[in-house]
């Protein structure tokens, strides 16, 4: 997002409100995608890689709080709730579930844009801080030294093929996020084609064998069937 406008996922089943929000985003030249249900929102969050989610709580298939909980099981995308529920208990429930901000309907366009700007400033600060962080990645026993292009599991150095190393670095730099097959192929392969998906699976299987101590359990790399892969953040690591 640092090199362009943010991509915003608008989750709203009421057409007039959805149109108001998307029209407001268009006036600011923001990119956006929309979803009118919880299931579609979860799919769009995984496949569309939005930078911010605007989420209504009153969805037709599931409660918005449940959507937040599901998202927070694999994603740290900022979530701004936009809801007609004005009771403090509703706000607290949404924020405790993992929402970053709460905007009550009816809302003004100016307030919505102000909340977006505030969230964007936080994202930009975190991105800028991440750009100057140390060149060594730690996650549990896994260590990647980007400067020397070396990988260790505990004290043991792991020898990876160039493609395996590139895949591992891409997952590490997006730790906690689900990366779709298409996104991975686009970032790691040159001129990716559909047949490369089978090669991706082979490389990921090989990478797993090298970095997983317990071959029966995926500690570091989790498969999201039909979607992609995610590096799991090991609790206790920074």
Please check whether residue 31 is in contact with residue 43, taking contact to mean a CB–CB distance below 8 angstroms: no
**Residue range 35-44, pLDDT digits in tens:** 999 999 999 9
**Residue range 16-25, pLDDT digits in tens:** 999 999 999 9
Instruction: Compute the average pLDDT of residues 184-198.
Output: 70
pLDDT at 190 over 70: no
pLDDT at 229 over 90: yes
d(CA 188, CA 184) in angstroms, rounded, equals 6
Q: How far is CA 190 from the centre of its chain?
A: 23
> pLDDT at position 133, please?
54
At 237, the pLDDT band (50, 70, 90 cuts) reads: very low
Residue that wins the pLDDT comparison between 8 and 121: 8
> pLDDT at position 128, please?
64
**Residue range 130-176, pLDDT digits in tens:** 554 567 889 989 999 887 888 999 899 998 888 889 899 999 989 88
d(CA 20, CA 217) in angstroms, rounded, equals 47
**Residue range 42-88, pLDDT digits in tens:** 999 988 889 999 999 999 999 999 999 999 888 888 999 999 998 88
Averaged pLDDT score across all residues of the chain: 86
d(CA 53, CA 45) in angstroms, rounded, equals 8
DSSP state of 35: E
Buried b (16+ CB within 10 A) or exposed e, 136-151: ebebbbbbbeeeeeeb
Assigned token pair, 178: 């689900």
Please check whether residue 143 is in contact with residue 193, taking contact to mean a CB–CB distance below 8 angstroms: no
């Amino acid at each position: 997002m640092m090199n362009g406008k943010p991509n915003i996922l608008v989750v709203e089943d009421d057409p007039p409100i959805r149109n108001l929000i998307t029209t407001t985003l268009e006036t600011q030249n923001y990119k956006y995608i929309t979803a009118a249900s919880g299931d579609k929102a979860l799919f769009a969050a995984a496949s569309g890689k939005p930078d911010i989610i605007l989420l209504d709580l009153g969805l037709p298939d599931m409660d918005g709080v449940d959507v937040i909980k599901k998202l927070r099981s694999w994603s740290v995308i900022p979530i701004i709730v936009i809801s007609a529920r004005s009771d403090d208990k509703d706000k607290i429930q949404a924020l405790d579930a993992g929402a970053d901000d709460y905007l009550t309907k009816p809302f003004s366009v100016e307030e919505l844009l102000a909340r977006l700007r505030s969230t964007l400033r936080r994202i930009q600060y975190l991105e800028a801080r991440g750009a100057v962080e140390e060149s060594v990645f730690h996650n549990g026993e896994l260590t990647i030294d980007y400067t020397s292009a070396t990988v260790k599991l505990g004290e043991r150095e792991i020898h990876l093929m160039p493609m395996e190393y590139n895949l591992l670095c891409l997952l590490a730099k997006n730790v906690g996020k689900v990366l779709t097959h298409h996104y991975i192929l686009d970032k790691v392969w040159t001129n990716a084609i559909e047949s490369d998906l089978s090669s991706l699976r082979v490389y990921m299987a090989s990478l797993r064998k090298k970095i997983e101590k317990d071959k029966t359990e995926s500690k570091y790399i989790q498969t999201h069937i039909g979607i992609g892969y995610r590096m799991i953040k090991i609790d206790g690591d920074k």
